[in-house]
């Protein structure tokens, strides 16, 4: 297992309604409207070695109180974000 610090993943990274300058980190094709930490947890669980929910909010949107995830992942954060984004799109299609 990696000795690195856990990655922090915020729902704002995947919010279709936000611009890149407001915190969205994935393309619009991998974004959904108002993602939740519960959805992120479901999608990221099979992709990472460990995941836990946190109450910490995104600094650019601290009033939302949406929370975050702390994950341990051996690849790059960018590849993880793209995988989670696609997983969110697939999850929303099945709902």
What is the mean pLDDT of each successive set of 10 residues along the chain, which is 95 residues long? 80 96 95 96 95 91 87 95 96 82
Query: Dihedral through CA 14, CA 17, CA 20, CA 23, nearest 10?
Result: -60
Other CB atoms within 10 A of residue 33 CB: 9
pLDDT digits (tens, 9 = 90+) for 38-47: 999 999 999 9
- In this structure, which CATH number among 3.30.1360.120, 3.40.50.300, 3.40.50.620, 3.30.56.30 belongs to the domain 7-94? 3.30.56.30
Mean pLDDT of the chain: 92
Structural contact between residues 7 and 33, judged by C-beta atoms closer than 8 angstroms = no
In the chain, where are the structural domains located?
A: 7-94
**pTM for the model:** 0.89
């Amino acid at each position: 297992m990696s000795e690195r610090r856990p990655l922090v993943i915020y729902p704002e990274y995947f919010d279709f309604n936000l611009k890149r300058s407001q915190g969205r980190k994935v393309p619009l094709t991998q974004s959904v409207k108002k993602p939740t930490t519960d959805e992120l947890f479901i999608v990221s669980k099979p992709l990472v070695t460990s995941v836990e929910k946190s109450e910490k909010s995104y600094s650019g949107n601290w009033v939302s109180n949406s929370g975050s995830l702390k994950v341990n992942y051996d690849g790059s954060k960018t590849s993880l974000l793209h995988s989670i984004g696609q997983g969110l799109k697939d999850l929303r299609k099945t709902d």
